[in-house]
Amino acid sequence: MNYVENKTLVITGASRGIGAAIARYTAAMGARVVLSARSEAAVTEIANEITAAGGQATALACDVSDCDQVSALMDHAIQVFGSIDVLVNNAGVIEPIARLIDSDPDAWGRIADVNYKGVYHGLRAAIPHMIGQGGGTIINISSGAATSALEGWSHYCSSKAAVFSLTRCADKEYRDQGVCVLGLSPGTVATDMQAAIKNSGLNPVSQLDPSAHIPPEWVAKTVHHLCGPAGMTFAGTDFSLKSRDAKVQVGLPVS
């Protein structure tokens, strides 16, 4: 079943890793994709690649910590493709990793601005468009860190916990108006973020063998799955890819 054909997906943090994989996979499935990241050159390159392959894509620079830039991103999606059917709040950072008393307050706050407030800005900007068109789906990329306490990750764990709370609140406020809001917790993914985690040497995640990390394409396939009826099943909660049952649902390999 194809759940994204002829739908418009707005993807933040789409210059690499999970976001880029989502853009490429859903575009190949016939979606119209709007890629955003702070680096306009990077997302434009991927958008051009998708277009050259026969897909539909556009790109716009956007710092999700800036409310006005996020609003402009949604306006751009409407202007180019006429709708916002799916928003994937993927933009997120983890550096610098440090224990609480060793952390830099400005850097710690920047994590909150991107990981937490960035999701708030996305919800606030996209939901009115979705209500106006009769509905839509918002997938907030979550993490097991939302319910964990990991050494050196106070900024990341607390920001992901805040995102989970935003997911629940948005679901309560807008489900009855046709907006499905849910989280996707993929586990550890083979992206550039893993290099920073490994180099920190803090907590068990930094000690994981690279073979433990799933490819970002698995997350992209899961996003597609959650754009269908399964999304509403998990509205207001997190869909965790760490379980065998979840992988079976999506059609991913299981060990």
Asked if the model's pLDDT at residue 198 lies above 90, the reply is no
116 is catalytic: no
Note whether 27 and 47 are within 8 A (CB): no
Asked if the model's pLDDT at residue 178 lies above 80, the reply is yes
Q: How many domains does the chain have?
A: 1
Which residue out of 3, 116, 120, 156 is catalytically annotated?
156
- How far from the centroid of its chain's Cα atoms is residue 58's Cα? 18
**Do the domain assignments include residue 255?**
no
Q: How far apart are CA 166 and CA 127, in angstroms?
A: 13
Q: Are strands 32-37 and 56-61 parallel, antiparallel or unpaired?
A: parallel
pLDDT tier at 140, thresholds 50, 70, 90: very high
Output the pTM of the full model. Answer: 0.94
**Do the domain assignments include residue 3?**
no
For the segment 15-32, the average pLDDT, to the nearest whole number, is 97
**Do the domain assignments include residue 32?**
yes
Note whether 91 and 114 are within 8 A (CB): yes
pLDDT score of 217: 96
pLDDT score of 142: 94
Question: Closest Cα partner for 235 from 243, 226, 244?
Answer: 226
**Full domain range(s) for residue 14:** 8-250
**Do the domain assignments include residue 229?**
yes
For the segment 205-214, the average pLDDT, to the nearest whole number, is 69
By the 10 Å C-beta count (0-12 exposed, 13-18 middle, 19+ buried), 204 is classed as exposed
Asked if the model's pLDDT at residue 188 lies above 80, the reply is no
Residue 33: φ, ψ to 5°: -115, 140
Tell which phi-psi region holds residue 195, choosing left (phi > 0), alpha (psi between -120 and 50) or beta. alpha
**Do the domain assignments include residue 2?**
no
CA torsion angle 29 136 130 112 (round to 10): -90
CATH of the domain at 42: 3.40.50.720
pLDDT tier at 194, thresholds 50, 70, 90: confident
For the segment 19-24, the average pLDDT, to the nearest whole number, is 98
Residue 212: φ, ψ to 5°: -75, -20
Q: How far apart are CA 185 and CA 103, in angstroms?
A: 26
Ranges assigned E (strand) in the chain: 8-11, 32-37, 56-61, 86-89, 136-141, 179-185, 238-240
- In DSSP notation, 123-156 reads HHHHHHHHHHHT-EEEEEE--GGGG---TT-HHH
Average pLDDT, the chain: 93
pLDDT tier at 212, thresholds 50, 70, 90: low
**Do the domain assignments include residue 23?**
yes
Asked if the model's pLDDT at residue 210 lies above 70, the reply is no
pLDDT score of 205: 72
Element (H, E) at 167: helix 154-174
Structure tokens at 23: 């853009």
